[in-house]
Structure 1
Amino acid sequence: MMTTTKEQVSISTRIKQLKTEMRHNRLSILKLSEDLNYPATIIADILFLRKKPDMDLLDKIENEITNSSKNRKGLQRVRSFPDNPMEISNKSYQSLDFSHSNIPNKLGEKIKKIRTELNFSELELGATLSPSVPANFIEEMENNQFIPSIEHLIEIADLGETTLDWLLRD
């Protein structure tokens, strides 16, 4: 059964509202994927309108975002930024050995573009990522001196409302 144009517009509007709510609550596609026990790639394809959504899955996504929003509001967590950026622990952040890989030439430019479009400082972007990273890591990423982990790349792509493919291709 084919969907009508009116239904497609309704689905598109609904997905835009879900993405807005995800951004507002800083809920990543990876976290949503874990909570729903569903592949992140499929959820991303639906949210970026690359695949026609299964209405049951769309309802599950909407319910999870709503529940996540309620849980976050109940916690009333306030994120504070340290006075000293070096206070951010990087124990859980693993440095990548990229001696056998090539850093995409424009990766740093694209990360910086996303950060500036969000009006984030390097410190704010670093604190937004999970696990958090110090501002100097963000600077190194933007200068192509350091390759972020795949998890961080996905989060950065989500924040910029773009695809991982765009972020990594030159």
Structure 2
Amino acid sequence: MRSEKSVPLMISLALLAVAAVLATLAIPAWRNHRVSEHLDEALRAGEAAKLVVMEAATVRGGLNRLQSGDLNFNAASSLNAYTAKIDISESGRITIATKDTGATPDPVFLLTPIDSSASSGGAALSWSCDIIAGNSQWMPPRCTRPAAPAPSVSVSPVAAPAPASTTGR
């Protein structure tokens, strides 16, 4: 009779152990997901600053022709709950300081414009994204480095072989 009463207790303890194992796996994954979402939102706040740099580079004819007055930007209008500060340097680099993201310490991102209009023929600027302060484990998917352009290879046409002559005798 004693063993019949201990079966529900054993089942309860087994379920409690399974729940504890699941919690030890799920809680850190959930936390990392939330931090990544907050950092992604902070990077989205820099989109307006990117537009300012792209417009100035387009008007001036390239990044190397930017002047200090070209990059006027009201950063306060772009800040959100996870962005502490957005700065644009004279060279067009954008620094985004984050806050309250859940990462320790809160990362600081550097967005560097790359003038690729001559090589790609497409968009005038691409962006390189780096974490300059904080842990690099929090690099969100939005923060990527552009792929290096493939080296141009010139291929000379190969002459087709001459058809074999057939002589009939």
Question: TM-score normalised by the shorter chain: which range applies?
Answer: under 0.3
TM-score by length of 1: 0.26
Quick check: which has more Rg, 1 or 2?
2
Q: Which of the two has greater helix per residue?
A: 1
TM-score by length of 2: 0.26
